[in-house]
A and B are shown apart, each in its own frame.
Chain A
Amino acid sequence: MRLKFTPIAIHTVLLTYTAIALLPIALIIANAFKSRRAIFTDPLALPGPDSFSLRGFAKVLAVSDFELYFINSLTVTLVTLALVLLFAAMAAWALSEYAFRGRLFIGLVFAVGIMVPIRLGTVSILELMVALDLTNTLTALILVYTAQSLPLAIFILTEFIAQIPKDLKDAARCDGVSEIHIFFAIIVPLIRPAIATVAIFVMVPIWNDLWFPLILSPGEDTQTITLGVQQFIGQYVTDWNAVLASLTLAILPILALYLLLSRQLVRGLTAGAVK
């Protein structure tokens, strides 16, 4: 038998899978805007004039501190991203540009971190944070996430830095530019395209993580959005309006960001993958 790839067959398969990927999400969002009765009587309908309700959102915002969770997540993610970009770029530059004793060793130590999940060190991380008096702080999360993200970021940035022509650095050296200025004034501007790639690999896992917020900073003031939603749903599990609304509130920011940046995101992912 010879399989035929007619355009119709291909599009049917792809459309079917796209529906499988999107329908569950759409279902949650659509029902979040409906009254409790409508959620149960006609779950597949879109919210209409009769069924429209924002009760769930009102409840969520009234009883939990969603804005705070959101700001916490944003703070942790962005501060970590900034630290990782700066420190990883500096280390990647030094590791790829200079010959020195111990270079291979340091490179290998970082490489191990790409594959070994930092989660396995949780017992000691918690002890360390207790000792440093950092439990229930965003700082604890930022430090752990920075450590978690550095190895892969260094790996990606090393690939980028390797593509910068040697002549450019030599020209700067002839111009009397110091090594530190070469890095900040020439290398940093030139690796800007890599930032998108690194940002995805760094930000998405941090934004979505449950483990470390749960263990290191479960306090009411330091909950991230993922932990906040998890706790909220555990508490109000029978209030369907509120549960659907909280899920929607967690999904929408990511959804908006993703659709806004999807081109760059996917390009970044594929660029990282090709290496």
Chain B
Amino acid sequence: MTPKSATLPLLTFFIAPAFLIYAVFSVYPLISTMVLSTYDTDAAGGHSFIGFGNFTTLLTDDAWSGPFWNALTNNAVFFAIHMAVQNPVGIVLAGLLSLPRLRGRHTYRTLIFLPTMLSVVIVGFIWQLILSPLWGVSEGLLSAVGLGDWFAPWLGQEETALITLSLLSVWQFVGIPMILIYAALLNIPEDLTEAAQVDGIGHFRIFWHIKLPLIAPTVALVSILTYVGNFNAFDIVYAVKGAIAGPNFATDILGTFFYRTFFGFQLQQGSPTMGATVATVMFAVILIGVMIYLALMQRRVQRHAF
């Protein structure tokens, strides 16, 4: 026997447990779901092959396409708000935390990251209570700073519910861009920035012109993580607004739409095949994002290939 090559039993011993569990409970269901999306469910619960019929229904049938496009658009808004708020705030916080000679950086970092550790469900409920007009905490706080009139039941209004929910999610997850970008900033060799400091360049310019370009790959990573997380989100809407994603589906996103399609709600019957169709579309949406990311990051990924 020579090293680096190994016998089949040995390889099986090491790889089979992980590969079997992963293949049976992740790869197989994903593929099987895609296959199922090409079948129709009849009244008796049997399945028959119909090709891309479900996708045509989903995208063109009046009963389906309206809710679907609504969910997709809402999801896009949900993602846009994360990109516009969560990531810039995360970058600013990381930039401040990485400033030289900052006291208490560990404490700040730990505390600001705390909400990220909590369950989305818990966070949803926390904010539901805080924003509830019944309790009046938010109104009271806003009045204290002279903005009392500004308060509205944001989560209950059609125009504001989605934005409010998105901001709750941003509040929870801002820790992730912060910590990833902070780590990337710490990895920048100090002599790079010290050279600029000696030249009399201010912190802000150093950050903007030297550090930010260097952490671009991390910003891209954060963006794709946000993208995948957002287009796969469910818990926050379900916890705060339930499966019907009210008011009037204003907060419906792909995750809740998928859940309702699969399990049914009110008068609509659940359908595994239409559920699988929605899941396949979600898969395609996520895949497009990942492909774009991989294309941009090709060289980095090659370095990390197995």
Residue among B11, B115, B136 with most chain A CB within 10 A: B11
In the complex, are the beta carbons of A98 and B282 less than 8 A apart? Answer: no
Contacts of A91 in B (CB 8 A): 14-15, 17-19
Q: Given A43-B136, A87-B18, verify A210-B218 contact (CB < 8 Å).
A: no
**A residues within 8 A CB of B129?**
28, 240, 243-244, 247
Task: Collect the chain A residues with CB atoms within 8 Å of residue B180's CB.
Answer: 269-270, 273
CB distance from A236 to the nearest CB of B (A): 12
**Could you count the A-B residue pairs with CB atoms below 8 Å apart for me: how many are there?**
287
- 1/0 per residue, CB under 8 A from A, across B261-292: the answer is 01100000000100110011011001100100
In the complex, A51 has a CB within 8 A of chain B: no
Interface residue count for B (Cβ, 8 Å)?
96
Residue contact A120 to B279, C-beta cutoff 8 Å = yes
0/1 string, A114-126, CB within 8 A of B gives 1: 0111111111110
| A275 interface contact, C-beta 8 A | yes
Interface of chain B, helix or strand or loop or mixed? helix
**A203 CB → nearest B CB, Å:** 10
Q: Interface majority SS on A: helix, strand, loop or mixed?
A: helix
B15–A14 CB distance below 8 A: no
**Cα–Cα distance between A209 and B108 once the two chains are bound (Å):** 26
CB distance from A183 to the nearest CB of B (A): 7
Q: Beyond the given A40-B135, A183-B14, could you list 20 further A-B residue pairs with CB under 8 A, ordered by the A residue number? A: A2-B202, A5-B203, A17-B89, A24-B126, A40-B136, A90-B18, A109-B19, A110-B22, A111-B305, A111-B306, A115-B228, A122-B33, A123-B275, A124-B28, A124-B30, A158-B306, A204-B117, A207-B119, A226-B121, A269-B180
A-B contact pairs, 20 of them (CB 8 A): A2-B204, A22-B114, A39-B135, A87-B18, A94-B15, A98-B6, A98-B11, A107-B305, A117-B228, A120-B33, A121-B33, A121-B279, A124-B29, A127-B32, A147-B25, A150-B18, A150-B21, A180-B10, A210-B234, A266-B113
